[in-house]
Amino acid sequence: MAGGRDVNQQSQIGPGRDLHVAFIMDGNGRWAKARRRPRPFGHQAGAKRAREVVEACPDLGVKYVTLYAFSTENWKRSKPEIIALMALFRHYIRKTMHELHAEGARVRFIGDRAPLDRKLVALIQELEALTARNDRVHVTVALNYGGRDEILRATRKMAQAVIAGQLRPEDIGEDTMTHYLDTAGLPDPDLVVRTSGEARTSNFLTWQSAYAEYEFTDTLWPDFGRAEFAAVLDKFGLRERRFGGVTG
């Protein structure tokens, strides 16, 4: 945690910046192992931490937050762990749906929903519909998501549009691709934070993060609280973002 900062202290960035922060929420399993508990225990703690991070966003000047909940590669995990994770997603959507709506959160899900069970998809659709008009904080959950998979799906949709005569190949540009991505209508992330000490992007927001700043912290996700969130934002506020250009 960040050097004794009061948990109620706001980031120096302050509200009104409309930042987009994306999180690779890593370390739940190691957190549970350190406590001699099964991995699902760590995922439960991680889900609770995600909820707390979302609650902190408006006070910290974060308008958009994206959470990497389950990747296309996570299907390689053990069947019991996958079952536990899917049950946890259903539980937390039911539990927090009306709380999030009351707090003015708009919730979206990105990723391929086809492999997900119908009950989970129905809950996702219900939550998205309920919160569709909210604007206090925009929460995006990446579920069965992979950056390469997203780009492939977007490319197929563009190819189908070309075949249908709805799109000309010579008109395809970056804006076109952005329109076909899962994140259409959302700003690109300003900052991507990965917890647990790993320093890789893990196929997360591959297109969108081309010019994002990255912060890698050793803190395991269940221990990443509001104080460290604020400290990370303070550090981000000191960075000079040139987007490929030069200054001075």
Q: What does the pLDDT look like over 29-55, one tens digit per residue?
A: 999 999 999 999 999 999 999 999 999
Mean pLDDT of 171-184: 97
Q: What is the mean pLDDT of the chain?
A: 92
Per-residue pLDDT reduced to its tens digit, 68-111: 999 999 999 999 999 999 999 999 999 999 999 999 999 999 99
DSSP annotation string for 145-211: E-HHHHHHHHHHHHHHHHHTTS--GGG--HHHHHHHSTTTTSPPPSEEEE-TT----TTSSTTTTTT
The predicted structure's pLDDT at residue 242: 56
CA gap 226, 213 in Å, rounded? 19
The DSSP line for 128-156 is HHHHTT--SEEEEEEEEE-HHHHHHHHHH
Q: Is the pLDDT of residue 56 over 80?
A: yes
Measure the CA–CA gap between 53 and 59, rounded to whole angstroms.
11
Give the pLDDT confidence of 9-26 residue by residue, as tens digits.
344 444 446 899 999 999
Banded pLDDT at 243 (limits 50, 70, 90): low
Taking the C-alpha atoms of residue 104 and residue 236, their distance in angstroms, rounded to an integer, is: 26
pLDDT for the residue 109: 98
Q: What is the pLDDT of residue 53?
A: 98
Q: What is the pLDDT of residue 14?
A: 43
What digits encode the pLDDT tens for the residues 146-165?
Answer: 999 999 999 999 999 999 99
Looking up tokens 């952005």 gives 178
Q: What is the dihedral angle through the alpha carbons of 101, 103, 106, 111, rounded to the nearest 10 degrees?
A: -80
pLDDT at residue 134 tops 70:
yes
Structure-block tokens of residue 37: 């508990």
Task: Give me the active site residues, please.
Answer: 26, 74
Smallest CA-to-CA distance from 96 within 156, 55, 65 is with 55
Answer CATH for 19-146+190-237 from 3.30.413.10, 3.30.2130.10, 3.50.50.60, 3.40.1180.10: 3.40.1180.10
Where do the domains of the chain lie? 19-146+190-237
Rounded Cα–Cα distance for residues 18 and 212 (Å)? 15
Give CA–CA dist 142/147, Å, rounded. 10
Task: Give the model's pLDDT for residue 240.
Answer: 63
pLDDT at 239: 74
Q: How far is residue 123's CA from residue 129's CA, in Å, rounded to a whole number?
A: 10
State the pLDDT at residue 62: 97
User: What digits encode the pLDDT tens for the residues 207-227?
Assistant: 999 999 999 999 999 999 999
For residue 232, is pLDDT > 90?
yes
User: What gap in Å lies between CA 133 and CA 238, rounded to an integer?
Assistant: 34
Name residue, tokens 């030069």: 246
What are the angstrom distances between the C-alpha of 217 and each of 43, 73, 109? 19, 22, 25
pLDDT of residue 117: 95
